[in-house]
Structures are given as structure tokens and as C-alpha cells.
Amino acid sequence: MKQQLTAILLFSVFLFSCDDDVMPEKVPLEVRQNLLSAFPMAYHIEWEKSGKDFEADFTVYAAEHSALFRESGQLTQYKHAIPATALPEAVVNAIATKHPRYKVSAADALVKGNVTCYQVVLKSNTAEIEVVFSADGQQLRQSFWD
């Protein structure tokens, strides 16, 4: 009996953890077309519903990407993984100055309109923090996009 209850609970957790996932055919055609127009080399595309918007997680040239689209198909923002060595010098200097005990463990370029900022995951021996920087190295209060 305990095994059946455990199996049911695990299955329920699995079902609820996937409730934001959307099958591609349920994503509006305009959204799917605009994704492939903006990122023609995209593959391994997975869709999620994010409020009223659609979020696509996909790969381009082995780099992880995410893009957020309105229901109308408008691309509102996107991000892609970058190596720490691709961060602007101003961002690298800001990290060294403001977070000297931390090292970059992951970085993304985040593009919204004509503005690019950089979100980084910084790790020390005892902690991990997520920080967003402008291209000129200013630490922003902007929330981190997971």
C-alpha cells in the first residue's frame, strides 16, 4: 500500500511540474513563425506558457537560448548563454570590484529591444548569487530571468 501511495505521489509531482509546458501545436502559428524567423538555426525547441506569453527554450550552434513572445507573435526579449570570456570588460571589472570573492559560473546576454545586458551567476566557496549588469558595468536592479 505504501509503495502505491508513493508511486501516486511521485506521478502527481511529475504531472504538476510539467503543467506550464505547451505542445508546439498549441502555440500560435505567428509565435512559431517569428521564432524561426528570428532564430532560423534553432533546434530542440521546447515551449512553455509564461502568463499570457510564450517562452521558447532552444539551442542555436550549441548555445542555450530562451525567447519570450507575446500571443501576437511579437518577440519581447531573448537571452543566450555566453562564455565568461565574452562578458564586456566593464562587467568583468565590476564583478572583480563589487564581488571579489566570487567567480562567474554562468553568463547570459539578455536582449530587450536595442539594449543588451548581462546576467551572471556568481559562486563563492559558500554562496551563489545572480546579478544583472548593463554593458557599461552598472549593477542593475532588474530581476534575473531563469
Listed by start position, the domains of the chain span 21-140
In terms of CATH architecture, what is 21-140? Roll (3.10)
Measured distance CA(60)–CA(129) in Å, rounded: 27
Measured distance CA(138)–CA(105) in Å, rounded: 19
pTM across the whole model? 0.79
Give per-residue pLDDT as tens, 76-120.
Answer: 999 999 999 999 999 999 999 999 999 999 999 999 999 999 999
Measured distance CA(134)–CA(119) in Å, rounded: 9
Give per-residue pLDDT as tens, 116-138.
Answer: 999 999 999 999 999 999 999 99
